[in-house]
Structure 1
């Protein structure tokens, strides 16, 4: 090549290089000037705040759930273990402490090796700081210029961050914003989700595993690909050895350990207490929407990193869910076997009505398809996952019609445990499976409460002057009205034994229907309704004789709340789920303030003690006796079973000195009940969940104060008032002069016969003698 040609080539090269540099400089200036979108300035960077998950905590500050757009919660630098920091630097940015946001040496390596020599093993040129910028602001689409524009933006912003924040703050910001596997953002969320521990508790193996996922969060997801994730962990460990953060021996020791996860679900359908968390979400959302920030905006439950401290005890909740599952799996089997071939969930009318409510049915109908064509379409089998008690994970071949019948046959349930002195909810099971049944059977569902209403009737009777040793016969009476109604007892033997009279304690503990109606008739239905209102019942109560047998519908929570007064000095407490709400800095935004002290008792202490003694008898010798003889529970306990007409609903409420528990079981379709009383009665359908729960509580030494709690001894006056024979035969005079009419108008007071006169005279003479 001649001298002139060399000069000409050099001249062209210099001009080209100059133009290229000018173009690159101009491009960088255009990015800096904001022509490709505004860059965050110093003030923006100083106010760095990312959307954070709001945390749901139990009474012991144990994390039980989150509400989030991005699953993120923050930690401080001092909470980051050194092994975690070292793993990040060794893997992602070994010269982190040497550069100012942009590692020029790495960029040079990328340019020459990756671009010019096509050596992909040379790695990328990004730093922890530039990755932080990407985490904070994401990347925008600028067409063919997307990569250079975003890279320059990240470099400029990284330099600004390095001038504002010390290296420790950058590391902290990075770990609080970096995305991990399973839509998890930030190291604390990842630690909790994959290893059920806080960041500060991460082992070397766990730290290396999480840092290893940053290269490709899906490909190295330890839940989905444990072997691949373990291999990546070992690569991180080797990088730490290479840069002298750990020794070869330390690395080899960890490499010999199998990767162990303790995966925690924090989505709305999974994990502990999903129904409780959903109710808390509703209530907390309303609370925070009324609280203003300094700038006048309201708090966002999904973005502002609030801490919601609840009343729930996580261990009690585990016991409640385990007890429910243990019982309901067996009961479901009993339920299905008892029907044999007469399965109501296969009934054409019931199934067709359920099908007609399906969105898919409505869609096909709007397309003009006829009934037969719609059913043909819904009969096509496909792979689907359905809930059942076998807990099988594999998909099944089922049609939409098959799945309708499957879910129609499943019994559902609700369970709640309350502190009767404060109203704090300690355990809460809203149904058998939240993913399949969003309907909450603690707060939302209202069903007839059956015989669990009878204590309200007896409480009203005592408050209105009836003596505990008042006797009533079993004989049925037909009450006249729009339709004549004759209450019947559950046992035919009781109906036949009409010459025997029962004292109130015996009548309530054995849940005698005919006597409950007579007690209410004698007391007055208005007085019973008024008494129930004082005990916290807000549900509409019909003024009919069948009210005594629990034909009113109410929620499980409302019923449980009404029973708390029996061990809380006559005051029925209002249940609550949230203790307080704090912002991300720990400032209290809202706090629950109970008003128990200012509430008036709903009844006298003498009435309270008397009813409690009657409910103790229900457990010790009445309809709930199986809690003693079958489950062997020795706790001080009172309670009441309930079964509704045609065995549609089973109920049980248990009262201990420091815990009130209520359970309901039934089918969500009111047309499908239990086939017989033996299975459907509250003692068989609802009581076992409470019994199994208490057995678990008794076995846990941390709950000894609850297990060993004892009722106060009733007063001498109450003991004396209840000191009478539970049963007695009708006297000669009663049979002649005081026969109960077989038919009467409800609410019409019975005329006093000669026996009533003699009884009054005898009582006056006894009082004179005393």
Structure 2
């Protein structure tokens, strides 16, 4: 019996021991698996950190992640004029400049426990694994940043996607060790691509809402944060309804996390998106022609100014900050003035150049056979010809044939772009109808260029009429002749000369025939005429006499000293403005008169900084004494006569006798300026070029208007003179500037020198010119004489 009991007890004990041993095995197995899993995870992280799953960023790269930063161009009043970039339009914003509600929206939507983890959210990861991602992903802000900076777009291959995720985890933990939470948030906002060249939060704020990030309101911040989910899908320009819904989800998350009250959430969710779209591209925005000039200037500067370590600055990647003299307000007024007047002037040009009225339209006073020659030259100067010939290596015959094949294109019109189908040759002919314009405004005392308008639309007319487009100066050249006479002969505006045909003897300049320029109307009063009156009314006979007295070489030398780089032949005909000069050069030259005889080279860039604020360049003014204060002031007083009783009189009074002639193209005329204005109009042969140079004591502005080809012009001087084509742009611009009191544009007198021995106070220029609209006009033979 005892043996049986002992045997049973022994069996029971054996079973108990076996059970314990089995449980122990399970425990050991569990912990073995657990430790193996931990070790495996650890090993995976170690392997990932060693680059087994792909290259990993070094410590140095983590400390200084490379992001492409656009070069930003600033106006003198602190506004962004534009940026230079190839792919990434990115300008970083520090954490302190991000509004709190923008950060709150990001945390509430993308990473609720951002401040509690070290790069990986364990709870979020387990939730994502358990629910297979149906209740949200597990990527933290740090992980998303690591993917943006170092990992790249998620692969569709499952194994590659897994290894990418592992790399994100590793990099995220490293980022958390290297940066503060605030720095990670700032980096995340600055790296993201919001679409439409909106790289980073600053570009996104400016492009979608026309404001800086610190000015965003709550609903705008919520919309931008909502785009982090997928900026291609949730883009307000393509999917406003989806973006609104996504924004409201963000607002709900902000309410859920205590950043908004229920009332605030409901109110903000009812607000429309209210997008204020401001695309940023090289062909759009303000000061496009100036920015294109500046791009070339910067490329030249980078060639001559290497980095300290010897490399070359890249204006598309290095995030330079370029500070310019352009005033964004004055630039805006200048562009508005050009557009307002040119739209009206173009409408009249179309009326006068119908096929019925002008068979060779848009060209005037040429034979039909000459039209084809103009078009063929335009073909060979076109970008299409250059691309096909030099890039694609096509034969001339094939290239020429392509200009007769219809294609889809968008063409310019003053009513907006037109999508159409036409041949490239027809588009060339179409654009030949459009008049062009160039305008520059400068502060004469400093040389600071305040406004630069190189044309009517940079996207369609990329030739810059300020710096590239040299055209005949017409009578705007005459003040240089008068200034030379005042300087050399001590002439006074009150001195008189007879209005008679004057010929300069041929033998003086080796010509076969004498030079006898005619007055614009071919008539001569034979009366004595003051120099002030003669300049005001562009009397050629008086200018010819002055040229004969001083000689053309001193005039040409003076023009060179005034900053004109074009070659000026020392021949008498330059007196009537035959040389080709740019608006840029003319404004710089006229600025010398307003600046008491001191030439200041026009300047556009005052300072360049690198992305860290280190100053790389500061400009040094380039000046030279050209004229005495007395000569400069006397010349200014001469030019005041132009607006007191000459071709610029329309700036002053209501209408001349021709009021019905002008009312169609000069809406807003009269301008009724009452302050001192010195200026000069200019018109060249056949009305091919119209000029107006206008000055007040602290602002000199030049305007040119004309066709791309000299054959494109108005038939008569009524519309074709500088007083009709160019002067209204100056007047509209100055009206806008004077209306803005913050600009402090002068309305006072020009400063008189302490010593003034030349008589300048003549009687007001009003005799013999009731309308104040006399303008010069060349005869063909005057411009074709070979001296």
Q: Normalization by structure 2: what TM-score? A: 0.84
Cα offset for 1:724? Answer: 7.7
Cα offset for 1:693? Answer: 0.3
Structure 1 residues 175 and 344, CA gap change in structure 2 (3 angstroms): same
Which of 76, 83, 88 in structure 1 is aligned with 2:94?
76
- Given that 2:497 and 2:542 are in contact with CA atoms closer than 8 Å, whether structure 1 keeps it comes out as no
2:775 aligned residue:
none
1:453 aligned residue:
477
Q: Deviations over 1:677-703 (max 9, x none)?
A: 222211111111101001111222223
Q: Secondary structure at the match of 1:309?
A: strand
Q: Secondary structure at the match of 1:518?
A: helix
Structure 1 residues 345 and 16, CA gap change in structure 2 (3 angstroms): farther
- Given that 2:691 and 2:722 are in contact with CA atoms closer than 8 Å, whether structure 1 keeps it comes out as yes
Q: Secondary structure at the match of 1:265?
A: coil
Q: Secondary structure at the match of 1:642?
A: strand
Provide the C-alpha distance between the structure 1 equivalents of 2:534 and 2:349, rounded to a whole number of angstroms.
29
Cα offset for 1:297? Answer: 3.0
1:399 aligned residue:
423
Which of 488, 506, 509 in structure 2 is aligned with 1:464?
488
Which of 143, 150, 164 in structure 2 is aligned with 1:130?
143
Provide the C-alpha distance between the structure 2 equivalents of 1:267 and 1:687, rounded to a whole number of angstroms.
31
- Given that 1:140 and 1:146 are in contact with CA atoms closer than 8 Å, whether structure 2 keeps it comes out as no
Provide the C-alpha distance between the structure 2 equivalents of 1:97 and 1:716, rounded to a whole number of angstroms.
75
1:657 aligned residue:
697
Deviates most, 671-680 or 652-661 = 671-680
Q: Deviations over 1:611-651 (max 9, x none)?
A: 11110001110111112223212231000111111221111
Tell whether 2:123 aligns with 1:98. no
1:384 aligned residue:
409
Equivalence map 1:630-649=2 (5 Å):
630-649=670-689
Q: Secondary structure at the match of 1:169?
A: helix
Tell whether 2:73 aligns with 1:56. yes
Q: Secondary structure at the match of 1:301?
A: coil
Q: Deviations over 1:146-172 (max 9, x none)?
A: 212211111101111112222222112
- Given that 1:275 and 1:428 are in contact with CA atoms closer than 8 Å, whether structure 2 keeps it comes out as yes
1:325 aligned residue:
339
Cα offset for 1:310? Answer: 0.9
Structure 1 residues 526 and 395, CA gap change in structure 2 (3 angstroms): same
Provide the C-alpha distance between the structure 1 equivalents of 2:513 and 2:448, rounded to a whole number of angstroms.
44
2:707 aligned residue:
667
Provide the C-alpha distance between the structure 1 equivalents of 2:248 and 2:422, rounded to a whole number of angstroms.
44
2:575 aligned residue:
548
- Given that 1:617 and 1:638 are in contact with CA atoms closer than 8 Å, whether structure 2 keeps it comes out as yes
Equivalence map 1:351-750=2 (5 Å):
351-358=375-382, 360=384, 363=388, 375=401, 378-392=403-417, 394-468=418-492, 469-477=495-503, 480=506, 482=511, 484=513, 486-489=515-518, 491-492=520-521, 495-596=522-623, 599-600=624-625, 602-629=626-653, 630-703=670-743, 705-713=744-752, 720=759, 723=762
Provide the C-alpha distance between the structure 2 equivalents of 1:163 and 1:555, rounded to a whole number of angstroms.
59
Structure 1 residues 107 and 491, CA gap change in structure 2 (3 angstroms): same
Cα offset for 1:20? Answer: 9.1
Structure 1 residues 20 and 716, CA gap change in structure 2 (3 angstroms): closer
Gaps of 5+ in 2: 1-18, 364-370, 654-669, 769-781
- Given that 1:647 and 1:681 are in contact with CA atoms closer than 8 Å, whether structure 2 keeps it comes out as yes
Which of 257, 260, 263 in structure 2 is aligned with 1:246?
260
Provide the C-alpha distance between the structure 2 equivalents of 1:559 and 1:511, rounded to a whole number of angstroms.
18
Provide the C-alpha distance between the structure 2 equivalents of 1:324 and 1:383, rounded to a whole number of angstroms.
29
Cα offset for 1:68? Answer: 2.4
Corresponding residue pairs, total: 712
Q: Secondary structure at the match of 1:320?
A: helix
- Given that 1:387 and 1:436 are in contact with CA atoms closer than 8 Å, whether structure 2 keeps it comes out as yes
Provide the C-alpha distance between the structure 2 equivalents of 1:190 and 1:366, rounded to a whole number of angstroms.
41
1:37 aligned residue:
54
Equivalence map 1:111-260=2 (5 Å):
111-114=129-132, 121-139=134-152, 145-260=159-274
2:127 aligned residue:
109
Q: Deviations over 1:181-213 (max 9, x none)?
A: 223222122112222222222110110010011
Deviates most, 353-362 or 163-172 = 353-362
Q: Secondary structure at the match of 2:599?
A: coil
Provide the C-alpha distance between the structure 2 equivalents of 1:476 and 1:720, rounded to a whole number of angstroms.
26
Provide the C-alpha distance between the structure 2 equivalents of 1:357 and 1:564, rounded to a whole number of angstroms.
34
Provide the C-alpha distance between the structure 1 equivalents of 2:554 and 2:254, rounded to a whole number of angstroms.
78
Q: Deviations over 1:74-131 (max 9, x none)?
A: 22222222211111111111121222111222222222322xxxxx642222110011
Provide the C-alpha distance between the structure 2 equivalents of 1:646 and 1:167, rounded to a whole number of angstroms.
70
- Given that 2:85 and 2:315 are in contact with CA atoms closer than 8 Å, whether structure 1 keeps it comes out as yes
Q: Deviations over 1:722-765 (max 9, x none)?
A: 64897999xxxxxxxxxxxxx9xx999xxxxxxxxxxxxxxxxx
Gaps of 5+ in 1: 115-119, 730-742, 749-770
1:740 aligned residue:
none
Provide the C-alpha distance between the structure 2 equivalents of 1:496 and 1:429, rounded to a whole number of angstroms.
38
Deviates most, 140-149 or 249-258 = 140-149
- Given that 1:57 and 1:63 are in contact with CA atoms closer than 8 Å, whether structure 2 keeps it comes out as yes
Deviates most, 176-185 or 448-457 = 176-185
Cα offset for 1:715? Answer: 7.1
Deviates most, 442-451 or 194-203 = 194-203
- Given that 2:48 and 2:170 are in contact with CA atoms closer than 8 Å, whether structure 1 keeps it comes out as no
Provide the C-alpha distance between the structure 1 equivalents of 2:551 and 2:584, rounded to a whole number of angstroms.
26
Structure 1 residues 93 and 725, CA gap change in structure 2 (3 angstroms): closer
Structure 1 residues 360 and 491, CA gap change in structure 2 (3 angstroms): closer
Q: Deviations over 1:647-668 (max 9, x none)?
A: 2111110011110000001112
Structure 1 residues 357 and 299, CA gap change in structure 2 (3 angstroms): closer
1:733 aligned residue:
none
Deviates most, 564-573 or 135-144 = 135-144
- Given that 1:344 and 1:350 are in contact with CA atoms closer than 8 Å, whether structure 2 keeps it comes out as no
Deviates most, 671-680 or 688-697 = 671-680
